Chain A
């Protein structure tokens, strides 16, 4: 044991204080640097959204001068757009397709996911791999024969080709639900079986209530997928303008009507608004859902 004199102790304490100060300063500088980068990146991510909103509130004259702030604010654009194009009609069409797609996906994906995760049967793993494989299959390969079937049924142009497949369950939703169902302990099901539950009751009363987050996630994904879809409506609705969804309507904006070009930004802002509102209310469900699809690949 070496003994220090009081002077030596004082020096050691002083050195330690300087070191702590340096470390604190370094930490502080690091925090400042991180936040600066994050703020700069946030500005870049926000910029296009900001520009869309401000341009949507300008006169066309002002917009074409590349102004960055509306003066005056033309709030009237947001009313005008409903008169200039059948915007409300397109919105209702989109809402109709998206809602039915969502219902179809949930109703038809829960039972297969249940069977794949909660029951033991021969060929279960093989079936699961087949489902994963169809997720990897490029849609272009099946697109033409499916189109031919719908054409023969005289369903084109019409909504049925967009909605009916949703009722035959999507591989992606089954996959996501299965991943979640598999985390529910088997003991819960065993207890319910002993109490005389049959498999259907078990699914309805036990597993579905427990899997609410995952079911909300697939409902949300199905709704947003249909709301944002462009290719499906392009194939099946384009020939009849009465059936157009927002996505199709927006691309036809300029060719159809003599409206100011910056009204396109007004329409785009209205098109994305519901999705962004939904996102703010369901951020947690959403992010958990995305995570579930990616990490357990």
Chain B
């Protein structure tokens, strides 16, 4: 137990306290922090256009990508349960992109989606799309390109869904079939309700993760000179404030607001789960 206790004290408990304190100070790493009260928090909401831009981008990508990811993972997992033979091969293929290191995947996507030298738009033109999007270069499309990058790496979420689907008792489907339920009705009234715990779990982790969305956006923005800040997210803002501007007090305040946002969202989801999440055994921790 002791390695964890020390780890917890050094890398979690102390830093949390320190960061809360620093969020009320002006601190540039070299000089000692000076107390400024709630100034950092006031500045964030009243005098920081980048904060609002980053917040807007982050909320947008969470709202669009989390439902898309869930639907896509559920669909890929569901279709994998269909064939009698060969599903292991398909599973390996679908999972493979999740193994690609994030930086390599992002660099490759910015290259192959590049409208001038990347082959993706050549395909789109071949299929009769006349003005294919400029993807990462176009502020209106860059977030969609990031979402595609994320969907490509859906593998680990898909595996969790697949395990969930295989856990649904066959007898439920048989009973539904005897009652005359069609394939779609079975999916809608048996599969989905039985999958709600998994969907709920991945929504919660998805929200927590997307508030911290950083590497893909940072690497892609570095590749294409994202002047309009269309790929500037909340975690990017914290990074720039802390390690480029060395405004560590302000960055700590940003981090605490992030934590509070995350907590509020998680609590709201925990509240609503009674209405739609179906636990066969009646409890979250079992």
Contacts and interface: CB of A to CB of B under 8 A. Distances in A.
B14 interface: yes
Contacts of B99: 224, 272, 275-276, 279
B198 interface: yes
B191 interface: no
A42 to B, nearest CB: 5
A141 B79 contact: no
A66 B111 CA distance: 11
Contacts of B100: 49, 272, 275-276
Interface string B91-132: 111111101111111011101100011111010000000000
A23 interface: no
A151 B248 CA distance: 13
Interface residues of A, number: 80
Given A52-B108, A66-B122, A272-B100, A34 B19 contact: no
Contacts of B93: 42, 45-46
Interface residues of B, number: 84
A203 interface: no
B82 interface: yes
Given A140-B212, A140-B258, A297 B201 contact: yes
A138 B259 contact: yes
Nearest to B121: A66
A295 B108 contact: no
Interface stretch (B2-10, B56-64, B136-144, B170-178): B2-10
B282 interface: no
A21 B4 CA distance: 64
A138 B19 contact: no
A33 B91 CA distance: 17
B167 interface: yes
A149 B97 CA distance: 36
B15 A251 contact: no
B152 A42 contact: no
A134 B8 contact: yes
Given A228-B102, A265-B108, A111 B94 contact: no
Contact of B19 (A134, A142, A227): A142
Contact of B79 (A37, A45, A111, A140): A37
29 contacts: A31-B83, A38-B83, A42-B93, A51-B112, A52-B108, A55-B111, A109-B4, A112-B3, A127-B1, A140-B254, A140-B259, A141-B19, A143-B242, A144-B248, A145-B15, A148-B248, A230-B102, A230-B215, A246-B103, A262-B111, A271-B103, A287-B91, A287-B159, A290-B159, A290-B160, A294-B156, A294-B160, A295-B167, A297-B201
Closest 8 CB pairs of A and B: A168-B7, A294-B160, A145-B18, A142-B15, A145-B15, A297-B201, A228-B101, A108-B3
